[in-house]
Amino acid sequence: MIEKKALTVTELTKVLKNCLNLQFPGISLIGVVSDVYRAEGYKVFSLNGVDSKIKCVHISTSTNNNIAVDVGDKVRVNGTVSVFGKSGEIHVLISKLEVLESIFREPEGRLKEFPNSGVEVKNIKPVDFDFLIKSVGIITSVDGAALSDILTVVRDELPYLVIKIFPAVMQGKNAFESFRNCVSQILSHRDIDILIITRGGGSYEDLSVFNSENIANLFGLVDIPIISAIGHAKDDVLLNHVADFNVATPTSAIQKIVANKNKFEIKIRELEINLSNSIERLLIRKTNEMENVRALLHTPLRKTEMYRSGLKSLERRASEVIHGVLSARKQKLLQMETVIEKLQKSNKKYSLNPVIFTKDKKKVIKSVHGLRGDEVLAIKFKDGLIKVKVLNN
């Protein structure tokens, strides 16, 4: 038995591509658009039938660049069937695209296509926060350039920021399970302010995981704000509409945190200026109040000083008067002391003999002349006093 030569995958892909080109040199299909992915110069979408779908690639040219399709549109496509070498998927390379029925729907429609999906599309708005972001969780590949770009900005401009990295597989069949593990860890952390999901650009197949129902449901469980930074500005995935905020690149995501820091620095400076102005106004007001009080106290102080001067003058005059009176009394006392000394010397002469007084002791009797009969006299002895009566004279 002759052993057949084994083909490489590349060779098989080329054979299938040639066979399809020969078998289907040109086809026309009608279906409903889903899973739209737009990139620079081309867009990829799925064309859906009742129970099947096929991927379509539309290359933009100068003649068809204005043709816009969105999820839910019914379209007719003309083209050739081929095989995409990188993934081995069959796709239609579109040469002509015609929109038969346009059904415009907001991004919510993309989620409503998923049965039993409880996720709501959040308001996509400019990234702004009314609180200072101090900690950030990042879901990304640890080997990717996206993480390196973010950490460079953090090192240069956000030294206070706490970064918690949740390594993940960002494409391929293991990506969803990796994301689920990250979300499980995030739900157990209560100290993360926001979550950034980021990766660099890639092909439609590389970013397809971010267009799935499972991703929409999974990140709908996260109750902290989410910033989606998937791919480049031209890339649009379903996760962008599930997240709270959507930015074009990984660097743009971390720059929003820088803007948050700058906003609060401005607020702090404004508060400092307002506080300084308030203190200055308060000091001026209190100074004016003190001046007013001082003015009110000025007249009473002058009167008090005048009264104080008058009192000192009275005190000085009173002191002079009292000094004069005391001097006169002192002089009189000295005179009395002199008289007393003389009396004491005189009394010594009569102290040995009795002294006879009138009854009222006002007059000393020195002679019998002038005495009346029955007159009462007082005789003072050294050791006492007696009263006598004149019998006859």
- pLDDT (0 to 100) of residue 138: 92
Domain harbouring 27, CATH code:
2.40.50.140
| pLDDT of 229 higher than 50 | yes
Residues 250 and 371 in one domain: no
Q: Which residues, at least 6 apart from 27, have a Cβ–Cβ distance to it below 8 Å?
A: 78, 79, 80, 81, 92
Query: Do 33 and 47 form a contact (C-beta atoms < 8 A)?
Result: yes
Average confidence (pLDDT) over 346-350: 57
Is the Cβ–Cβ distance between 23 and 17 less than 8 Å?
no
Round the average pLDDT of the chain to a whole number and report it: 79
Report which of 119, 66, 124 is spatially closest to residue 244, judged by C-alpha positions: 124
Residue 106 pLDDT grade (very low, low, confident, very high; cuts 50, 70, 90) = very low
Nearest to 87 by CA among 197, 171, 175, 176: 171
State phi, psi for 31 to the nearest 5 degrees. -170, 180
Residue 50 lies in a domain: yes
Mean pLDDT lowest for which of 110-114, 127-131, 237-241, 253-257? 110-114
CA R_g for the chain? 61
Same domain, 168 and 90: no
Q: Do the domain assignments include residue 379?
A: yes
Residue-number span of the structural domain to which 45 is assigned:
9-103
- Assign 117 a pLDDT band (cuts: 50, 70, 90): very low
Gap between the Cα atoms of 238 and 205, Å rounded: 14
Angle at CA of residue 24, ends 19 and 48, nearest 5°: 115
Instruction: Band the pLDDT of 137: cuts 50, 70, 90.
Output: very high
- To the nearest 10 degrees (0 to 180), the angle between helices 145-157 and 250-350 is 20
Q: Which residue has the higher pLDDT, 159 or 204?
A: 159
User: Which residue's entry shows tokens 């889903």?
Assistant: 34
Could you tell me if 152 and 238 lie in one domain? yes
User: Based on the domain organization, do 82 and 22 belong to the same domain?
Assistant: yes
Pairwise CA distance, residues 178 & 166, whole Å:
10
- 3-class state of residue 287 by DSSP: helix
Say yes or no: 142 and 69 in one domain: no
- Residue 191 to residues 40, 49, 153, 186, Cα–Cα distance (Å): 39, 47, 21, 10
Question: What's the pLDDT score for residue 126?
Answer: 53
Is 88 within 8 Å of 15 (Cβ atoms)?
no
For residue 235, what pLDDT is reported?
65
Residues 84 and 135 in one domain: no
pLDDT in tens, 243-287: 888 888 888 888 888 888 888 888 888 898 899 889 999 999 988
Are 133 and 172 found together in one domain? yes
Do the domain assignments include residue 44? yes
Residue 215 counted as domain residue = yes
Q: Read off the pLDDT band of 233 (50, 70, 90).
A: low
pLDDT value of position 124: 47
Q: Flag whether pLDDT at 27 surpasses 60.
A: yes
pTM for this predicted structure: 0.49
Reduce the DSSP state of residue 183 to 3 states and report it. Answer: helix
My answer on whether 170 and 83 are in the same domain is no
Domain boundary among 262, 283, 316: 262
The token pair that represents 382 in the structure block: 């050294």
